[in-house]
């Protein structure tokens, strides 16, 4: 178990975005599933804002794995969500519900999350929202 990663997902589920952002290294690298790479807390804050406008999500069945030096960790979980508002480039949102397996990889530096890379099956999500 890795306490920092547990805190990250607790903050995510609580909706306390400031608590989540406080866990991030100033130079956080965010590798978005099938997307680009964003760097820095302002970019991560903007990403969370975009997500919060279009989705309501909760992490469930979280399992966290840590490397021997606590510098890297991985998590597997399910995201239970509702698609609230159409996200750019994606099908129209009509309140569709989804339950999707996700994998995430982390690097930790100076006691903060320095990288998060999220992976999920986009095709499965598209089927769940009726695309």
Distance CA 83, CA 81 (A): 7
Q: What pLDDT, on the 0 to 100 scale, is given for residue 1?
A: 62
The answer, as to whether pTM is greater than 0.75, is yes
Report the share of the chain in percent with pLDDT over 70: 99
Distance CA 79, CA 18 (A): 21
Distance CA 50, CA 93 (A): 14
- What one-character-per-residue DSSP string does 12-56 give? HHHT-HHHHHHTEEEEEEEE-TTS-EEESHHHHHHHHHHHHHHEE
Q: Tens digit of pLDDT for each residue in 21-78?
A: 999 999 999 999 988 899 999 999 999 999 999 999 999 999 999 988 889 999 999 9
Write down the CATH number for the domain with range 3-128: 3.10.450.50
């Amino acid at each position: 178990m890795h306490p920092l990663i547990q805190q990250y997902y607790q903050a995510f589920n609580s909706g306390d975005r400031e608590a989540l952002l406080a866990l991030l290294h100033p130079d956080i690298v965010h590798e978005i599933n099938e997307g680009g790479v964003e760097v820095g807390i302002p970019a991560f804050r903007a990403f969370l804002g975009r997500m919060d406008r279009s989705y309501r999500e909760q992490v469930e069945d979280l399992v966290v794995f840590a490397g021997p030096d606590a510098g890297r960790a991985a998590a597997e979980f399910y995201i239970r969500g509702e698609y609230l508002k159409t996200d750019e480039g994606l099908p129209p949102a009509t309140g569709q519900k989804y339950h999707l397996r996700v994998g995430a990889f982390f690097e930790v530096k100076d006691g903060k999350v320095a990288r998060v890379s999220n992976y999920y099956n986009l095709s499965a999500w598209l089927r769940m929202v009726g695309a």
